[in-house]
Amino acid sequence: MHLRDAVHVLPIRVGPDGQAGVFNLSLITDATEGATLVDTGLPGQYDAIAGALAEAGVSVETLARIVLTHHDIDHVGALHDLVRASRARVLAHDVEAPYINGAVTPRFATPEAQEQHPQLRAVAAHFRPTPVDELLEDNALLPVVGGVRVVFSPGHTPGHICLYHERSRTLIAGDALAAEDGRLRGPNPSATPDMPLAAQSVRKLSALDVQAIVCYHGGVVDDDAQGQLRRVADELAA
Ligand SMILES: [Zn+2]
């Protein structure tokens, strides 16, 4: 789905018939610099993602880069398959990289997590660690379509980042924010170990001039996005 300017949203259905929800991947197209995919779904979702890319006019082979907002299994699942099919460069914050390249056990694969959520065991077994080619820092500017800013936004995970496309004032929020039926919410508390830090990150995001927000879980918020972002920042600070 074309959202604004060069930003597309790729809704990927989860589970049989999509009854387990939708992941909202983002795609930023650039005729010169090539296409940038943000996040990669679960293991096994390669075909669905390749199909969604094709619908947006991008063939997997031409994908230039993949940015990961963080290392959770529903964001890095098809990374290995996508890299193998495309040779895209992989970009993530340096705090998240060791969880993605296999140097450190990802939080979904720790014994504690698997004990708490037994269904994670089977999913985690399909995760293939993948090298990160470029480490991102807060405020870095990706040189695509007029500039895409990296916004370090820890709390949900220690190295979570959001992306901000300056020209279209679009915030790709990853899991730093969530949404339901167009209403913006804070990050899911049950999956966010450091809520005070996550609240600080939302406060930081609320200083951006935002006209649309893409939440990985919950989709697009573009009805008074700025006002909603300030409301959520205030609610989390209360
Ligand atoms: Zn997450």
154 burial via Cβ count (<10 Å: 0-12, 13-18, 19+): buried
Q: pLDDT tens-digit profile of 148-200? A: 999 999 999 999 999 999 999 999 999 999 999 999 999 999 999 999 999 99
Compute the distance from residue 185 Cα to the ligand 1 centre, in Å. 14
Taking the CB of residue 1, how many other CB atoms lie within 10 A of it? 13
Compute the distance from residue 216 Cα to the ligand 1 centre, in Å. 9
CB-based contacts of 179: which residues, under 8 Å, 6+ apart? 185, 213, 215, 217, 218, 219, 220, 221
HSE toward the beta carbon, residue 76, CA cutoff 13 A: 30
Strand-pair category, 178-180 with 170-174: unpaired
Compute the distance from residue 28 Cα to the ligand 1 centre, in Å. 21
Compute the distance from residue 21 Cα to the ligand 1 centre, in Å. 14
136 has pLDDT over 90: yes
Q: pLDDT tens-digit profile of 35-84? A: 999 999 999 999 999 999 999 999 999 999 999 999 999 999 999 999 99
CB-based contacts of 41: which residues, under 8 Å, 6+ apart? 12, 23, 25, 48, 49, 74, 75, 77, 78
Compute the distance from residue 209 Cα to the ligand 1 centre, in Å. 24
Compute the distance from residue 159 Cα to the ligand 1 centre, in Å. 11
16 has pLDDT over 80: no
Compute the distance from residue 176 Cα to the ligand 1 centre, in Å. 8
Q: How confident is the model at residue 19 (pLDDT cuts 50, 70, 90)?
A: confident
Go through 88-117 and write b for each residue having 16 or more CB atoms within 10 A of its CB, e for each that does not: bbbbbbebbbbbbbeeeebbbbeeebbeee
The predicted model scores a pTM of: 0.96
Q: Tokens representing 17?
A: 């018939």
At 93 the three-state DSSP class reads: strand
Compute the distance from residue 63 Cα to the ligand 1 centre, in Å. 23
Compute the distance from residue 75 Cα to the ligand 1 centre, in Å. 7
Compute the distance from residue 217 Cα to the ligand 1 centre, in Å. 9
Compute the distance from residue 31 Cα to the ligand 1 centre, in Å. 30
Compute the distance from residue 175 Cα to the ligand 1 centre, in Å. 5
Compute the distance from residue 191 Cα to the ligand 1 centre, in Å. 7
Contact (Cβ atoms closer than 8 angstroms) between residue 125 and residue 139: no
pLDDT score recorded for residue 108: 87
**Mean pLDDT (the chain, rounded):** 95
d(CA 217, CA 99): 21
